[in-house]
Amino acid sequence: MEAIIKTEFRLPGQISLYKGKVRDVYNISDKYLVMVATDRISAFDVVLPKGIPFKGQVLNQIASKFLDATSDIVPNWKIAAPDPMVTIGRKAEPLPVEMVIRGYLTGHAWREYRSGTRSICGIPLREGLKENQKFDKPIITPTTKAHIGHDEDISREEIIASHLVPENIYNQAEEYTLKLFERGTQMAARMGLILVDTKYEFGIQDGKVYLIDEIHTPDSSRYFYGDTYDHNFETGIEQRQLSKEFVRQWLIENNFQGKEGQTVPFMPDAFVLEISDRYIELYEQITGEHFHRTDSIDVMGRIESNIRNYLSKL
């Protein structure tokens, strides 16, 4: 299947089109959002030059499943998923920070710790920690939301002091973050996985906090295989994981970390297909369901038709 890397629909009631790193978001009548999960892939806050077949479908369907599975914890933006690559939902005003929560010292946090940092987002980290070590309890390490360039770590105190988010709203987002992570951890454990870390985005609609965007997908989350975690941790073997981290590692090995002056390395077709297979593997592992590849004939026409049909019912 050819990867879908952009859409340019003209939809009924369309006010604007915002292209994020991986999603095209259509504002409908300033009331609804049509979010198309494309096959674009980003790493180090840079959109890579090649799309990944079926990635958008994987992301959209995992996020849709988890939004439904957590709606008893926090109200969310989703109304319907009329196409495998599309979610339609309520428009909310996004908070200018992302709520990153970590159960283990890995990824960005480990890279910072290894470099000598002993505090992340104002949270002290003790000496002697090892890569992939489980924290005594999950820590919340928020980041700013950068439209261009890198998201930046920020502390709870800085967020409140700078009035980025009112304290009562931030406290609500923190409470939801802990509960969502607990639910995600429980669901992952039932499938033999460990939810290592993830991020949540929240927005405000009519003064109420809503969960928005994706949750618990391989773009926003990291999973380890539960059956090999203890052995690999004790022996220093690299953890088996389902996430984008292997893409980041490949880029690092090819001298790219999104820094000024660096060039994105050429991505061989075999590597692109490997990424696609890993996304599908995560879908099947985390949902326990077989992944059904959608028909590759006139994908754009199918997406637009399904969107228009649903919008006509709103």
- Domains identified in the chain and CATH numbers: 14-92+268-311 (3.30.200.20), 94-246 (3.30.470.20)
- What is the band of 151 on the pLDDT scale with cuts at 50, 70, 90? confident
Q: Looking at the chain, list the stretches that DSSP marks H as alpha helix, in order from N- to C-terminal side.
A: 55-69, 107-114, 156-161, 167-190, 226-235, 245-253, 269-287, 299-311
Assigned token pair, 296: 């590759």
282 within 8 A of 58, measured Cβ to Cβ: yes
Q: Is the pLDDT of residue 79 over 60?
A: yes
Q: How many CB atoms lie within 10 A of CB 227?
A: 12
pLDDT one-digit tens code per residue, 280-302: 988 999 999 999 999 878 999 99
Residue with tokens 């428009």: 91
Sign of CA pseudo-dihedral 149, 155, 158, 160: positive
Of 115-119, 147-151, 193-197, 234-238, minimum mean pLDDT range: 147-151
Please provide the average confidence, as pLDDT, over all residues in the chain. 94
Q: Is the pLDDT of residue 304 over 80?
A: yes
197 within 8 A of 101, measured Cβ to Cβ: yes
What pLDDT, on a 0 to 100 scale, did the predictor assign at position 148?
A: 56
What pLDDT, on a 0 to 100 scale, did the predictor assign at position 147?
A: 59
DSSP letters along 66-79, please? HHHHTTTTS-BSEE
From residue 193, give the alpha-carbon distance in Å to each of 52, 144, 225, 293. 24, 29, 5, 23
Q: Is the pLDDT of residue 150 over 70?
A: no
Provide, rounded to the nearest whole percent, the portion of the chain with pLDDT above 90: 86
Mean pLDDT of 262-284: 93
Residue 297 CA to residue 180 CA, distance in Å, equals 37
What pLDDT, on a 0 to 100 scale, did the predictor assign at position 282?
A: 84
What pLDDT, on a 0 to 100 scale, did the predictor assign at position 293?
A: 93
- What is the band of 22 on the pLDDT scale with cuts at 50, 70, 90? very high
Interhelix angle 245-253/269-287, nearest 10 degrees: 160
What pLDDT, on a 0 to 100 scale, did the predictor assign at position 243?
A: 78
Assigned token pair, 97: 């920070």
Task: Give the global pTM.
Answer: 0.89
Mean pLDDT of 82-108: 96
Residue 180 CA to residue 173 CA, distance in Å, equals 10
What pLDDT, on a 0 to 100 scale, did the predictor assign at position 149?
A: 57
Q: Is the pLDDT of residue 115 over 90?
A: yes
Q: Is the pLDDT of residue 78 over 90?
A: yes
Residue with tokens 């669901």: 187
Mean pLDDT of 95-104: 97
- What is the band of 28 on the pLDDT scale with cuts at 50, 70, 90? very high
